[in-house]
Amino acid sequence: MRLMFIGDIVGRAGRAVLLEQLPGLRTRYGLDFVIVNGENAAGGFGITEAICDEFLNAGADCITLGNHAFDQKEALVFIERQPRLLRPANYPAGTPGRGANLIENAKGQRILVMNVMGRIFMDAMDDPFAAVEREIAACPLGLGCDAFVIDLHAETTSEKMAMAHFVDGRVSLVVGTHTHVPTADYQVLPGGTAYQSDAGMTGDFDSVIGMDKEEPLRRFTRKIPGGRFEPAEGQATLCGLAVEIDDKTGLALKVAPVRIGGRLSPALPEFWG
């Protein structure tokens, strides 16, 4: 199975490069499944139904969220009728939407996608490790699903790495989101789980984590807010991760970074040609 995960889409620039590149990526690499983190897609804060539909129509199979999941209030409603849009599974009981879903691709393969949020330097949430353990027990790799992917939306690399080792050999991929900077630690762990601390953002890197530089600089240097954060609108880089998954075991065989366009050095998965 050829799977691609695309990191946090930030604002109009991020949406534009995703919509431009995703259909071609699916065709060029024969992708079997694509996951996109869309929690910053609407002006940097949350996602709207129109944007969600746009991503799905462009070739995304599933969209994950994070701490900005409900910044656009309409998400509280439409997430209930959109099974391919996931918010963190460890939100409190009664939160609209779902934190995991089993999605079948065109080949009939069953991919379990789970969105979970970290707790270090983040809002108080239920235990992400317990939430993941429950989902693994309910839908084990190789029995309940053919691939199992976790988007861990978290601030610290330590929490992300700990989660990866906690589930190594039991899921296909643990990929970090939220910090918006692609890390160089992409690897297949000893048990066969692919991992990267952060997939990076899909947005303009001539910015402060995707936001226009003026307001963050004002707040850092003067401690006085001058307005709201606005996404940077320059040429964006699409950042993500390519994973080849064994059809027999559901574990990862190969993993490589994806970076297209914008200011960062390009990277494409050589093992797919």
What is the sign, positive or negative, of the torsion defined by CA atoms of 77, 83, 87, 93? positive
The residue type found at 112 is L
Which is the catalytic residue, given 68, 153, 178, 180?
68
What is the sign, positive or negative, of the torsion defined by CA atoms of 136, 118, 126, 83? negative
Structure-block tokens of residue 254: 């190969």
Residue 159 CA to residue 261 CA, distance in Å, equals 30
Residue 202 CA to residue 23 CA, distance in Å, equals 16
- Strand, coil or helix: what is 233? coil
**Annotated catalytic, 68?**
yes
In this structure, are residues 38 and 64 in contact, taking their beta carbons and an 8 Å threshold? yes
Which residues are part of the catalytic machinery? Answer: 68
